[in-house]
Amino acid sequence: MRFRLLGVVSALLCLSGPLLAADGLPPARDLTADARLAAARQMPILVFFTSESCPYCREVENLYLRPMQARGTYRGRLLLRVVEVGGGTPLTDFAGGQVNHGLFARHERVAFTPVIRLYDAAGRELAPSLVGYTTPDFYLGYLEQAIEQAIAAARSSRTAALR
């Protein structure tokens, strides 16, 4: 009886995991803290710059980023954060400055959305940004390529720093 109960509880937890992960992508709140974690784990930070009024942002979020998060595709190898380009959500930037999402996006010269950038722990870009959503047929390939390039660069920059 106890094993059956454990099986039921395990099944429910497995089913609830993707649902909990799909509730929303994590907003950027403290990039300094994220950078410390990224440095310790040798992983990049993916920042998804989005806008409420951007239908293409919803496509990128729903077709690529939410499923990637729900499946745990890059769990432990990538931090994912969202910045609302016109938003007023408070944010600590990479340098420890107190800004909001909109100001951070302006500092990063993000004028339109969607934009995906991959940063190292110092706030430097590790791979080419994905700007816009003009090639849906190839977008997943471009996204995965940029992520893998950023992961490799984060690991090699950590290795170089240790020498």
pLDDT in tens, 47-60: 999 999 999 999 99
What is the Cα–Cα distance from 76 to 153, expressed in whole angstroms?
A: 16
pTM: 0.82
Cα Rg of the chain, angstroms? 17
Average pLDDT over residues 33-38: 96
Bridge partners (DSSP) of residue 145 are none
Closest CA to 78 of 51, 105, 117: 117
Query: In 24-84, at which residue ranges do the beta strands (DSSP E only) sit?
Result: 45-50, 79-84
Got the DSSP string for 68-137? HHHHTTTTTT-EEEEEETT---EEE-TTS-EEEHHHHHHHTT--SS-EEEEE-TTS-B-S--EES---HH
Per-residue pLDDT at 158 exceeds 60: no
Q: pLDDT tens digit string along 64-80? A: 999 999 999 899 999 99
Q: pLDDT tens digit string along 82-140? A: 999 999 999 999 999 999 999 999 999 998 999 999 999 999 999 999 999 988 999 99
Q: Which amino acid is at 6?
A: L
Closest CA to 61 of 114, 11, 108, 15: 114
